[in-house]
Amino acid sequence: MTMEKLINGKGQIVPGVLDEPVKEINYLDYDLRTVMDRPRSRLARRWRFNQFQFVSAMGPGWVFGLAVVDLKLLGNGFFYLYDFETGQMMEQSFLQPLARQTRIEPLPEEGVATFSKGEVDVRIAPTADGRTIAVSAPGDIRIELTLKEDRDPLRLVCPAGYNGWVFTRKSAGLPVEGEVRWDHRIWRCDEETRGTIDWSCGFMRRETAWNWACLAGQLPDGRIDLHFVPAGVRKEKLNAWVLASNFRQYVGTFNGTVTDEAGGKIEVKGLRGLMEDHFARW
């Protein structure tokens, strides 16, 4: 079964965990109001709606991350790779005023996300069971990755602020195929490489902050007691009139134990991942 549209006939969301896919985020049908309960215009609904998609791939020796962000007043595309052997963080980040050449289709299962600026092109596209990532940029950067087996994501919609909401679709532990070429170096995926997808949108709080962690690898299911040791960090600060962002995403190593339902402990040692600290005003 598939939910055709997120917003119901009364212009409202039904918050909670969703057991079925959502075909379309029909955000213009939402009954968005001011804090004094006056209906907002269609134009206001269009400009207040934010979207982003973040994709990562994690191998034993490297971590890759990529995002396309549409804040209406501003578009952002970034990608990076951290190499644990050399300790090198390589990154590229680009901004587009008024989110020019930035597009995220409001279709969580089948939508395409693109960002371009000059000779830089970023594309996230759906497949039958996952996503493909394609990047080309100056500096001999060519990235082609395919995340597979995206069959059981977390889908959640929740209130935000006085009368806003956020929808998110998250997947982790997905097999990844492909390679990252950057400045005449190549990082190839293998059977241990795992990836994540975060597709989020909504009428978010004007000021938003979160702490978030992500790791992906091959482990039996169970309870988690892990510690994270950072190795590299990608930082970005933006203060542009009504928009602001203070972003830190740390790449590093998780160690600890995972406890199964029978009480048995599984050691986690050297599993690569990332953590994030972010404040946003949008």
Query: Are β-strands 185-188 and 164-182 bridged in parallel, bridged antiparallel, or unpaired?
Result: antiparallel
pLDDT at residue 5, rounded to an integer = 97
* 251 assigned to some structural domain: no
pLDDT at residue 209, rounded to an integer = 81
Burial (Cβ within 10 Å: 0-12, 13-18, ≥19) of residue 146: buried
pLDDT at residue 259, rounded to an integer = 87
pLDDT at residue 218, rounded to an integer = 62
* 127 assigned to some structural domain: yes
In this structure, the number of other CB atoms found within 10 A of the CB of residue 100 comes to 13
The residues with which 70 forms a beta bridge, in sequence order, are 51, 75
pLDDT digit of tens for each residue in the chain (282 aa)?
889 999 999 999 999 999 999 999 999 999 999 988 899 999 999 999 999 999 999 988 999 999 999 999 999 999 999 999 999 999 999 999 999 999 999 999 999 999 999 999 999 999 999 999 999 999 999 999 999 999 999 999 999 988 999 999 999 999 999 999 999 999 999 999 999 999 999 999 888 787 878 777 665 585 778 999 999 999 988 887 778 889 899 999 999 998 887 888 989 899 898 898 888 887
Query: For residue 130, what are the domain limits?
Result: 3-205
pLDDT at residue 240, rounded to an integer = 79
* 267 assigned to some structural domain: no
Please tell me the distance from the alpha carbon of residue 211 to that of residue 197, in angstroms, as a whole number.
17
* 276 assigned to some structural domain: no
pLDDT at residue 30, rounded to an integer = 97
Query: For the domain that residue 72 is a member of, what is the CATH number?
Result: 2.40.370
* Predicted confidence (pLDDT) per residue in 29-65, tens digit: 999 999 888 999 999 999 999 999 999 999 889 999 9
Could you tell me which of 174, 178, 121, 132 has the C-alpha nearest to residue 151? 174
Q: What are phi and psi of 222, to 5 degrees?
A: 160, -170
* 83 assigned to some structural domain: yes
Query: What is the count of structural domains for the chain?
Result: 1
pLDDT at residue 219, rounded to an integer = 57
Please tell me the distance from the alpha carbon of residue 146 to that of residue 195, in angstroms, as a whole number.
9
pLDDT at residue 222, rounded to an integer = 58
